[in-house]
């Protein structure tokens, strides 16, 4: 079975540019999470969705960040405009609701570098 798929794996961009990160969760998983990992702040929860609806976006740092989930198999995290301090690894994770063990299934991450 395919796991959580994220793209791109690496992105280098210049300050001020728009960045879009993509995630395809595991089929049948009802919850989708976006996390950001940095050396300074560790692994931060940005936002999570249930059945394509955002449940908690309190971790989204600024209005420059937005996330959408137009259908059950696709989500995007957009940063516009990007800044050097947004440089991090962004992870997407999913989990099913029914018979839930609580385990999150992570993608391999998208490493973003903003110059």
Provide the binding-site residues for another protein, judged by CB under 8 A.
Answer: 4, 31, 33, 35, 42-43, 45, 48, 50, 55-56, 91, 93, 95, 97, 100-104, 106-109
In whole angstroms, how close is the CB of 11 to another protein at the nearest point? 15
Which lies closer to another protein via its Cβ, residue 42 or residue 70?
Answer: 42
Backbone angles phi, psi at 93, to 5 degrees: -140, 155
Which lies closer to another protein via its Cβ, residue 97 or residue 115?
Answer: 97
β-bridge mates for residue 42, sequence order: 38
Which lies closer to another protein via its Cβ, residue 15 or residue 55?
Answer: 55
Contact 54, 69 (CB under 8 A): yes
Cα distances from 39 to residues 31, 32, 42, 43, 44, in angstroms, run 26, 23, 6, 9, 11
């Amino acid at each position: 079975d395919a796991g959580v798929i994220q793209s791109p794996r690496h992105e280098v961009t210049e300050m001020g540019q728009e960045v879009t990160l993509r995630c395809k969760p595991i089929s049948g998983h009802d919850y989708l999470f976006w996390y950001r990992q940095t050396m300074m702040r560790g692994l931060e929860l940005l936002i999570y969705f249930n059945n394509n609806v955002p449940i908690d976006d309190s971790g989204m740092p600024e209005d420059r960040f937005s996330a959408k989930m137009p259908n059950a198999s696709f989500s995007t995290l957009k940063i516009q405009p990007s800044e050097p301090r947004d440089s991090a690894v962004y992870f997407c994770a999913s989990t099913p609701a029914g018979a839930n063990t609580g385990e999150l299934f992570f993608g391999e991450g998208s490493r973003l570098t903003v110059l």
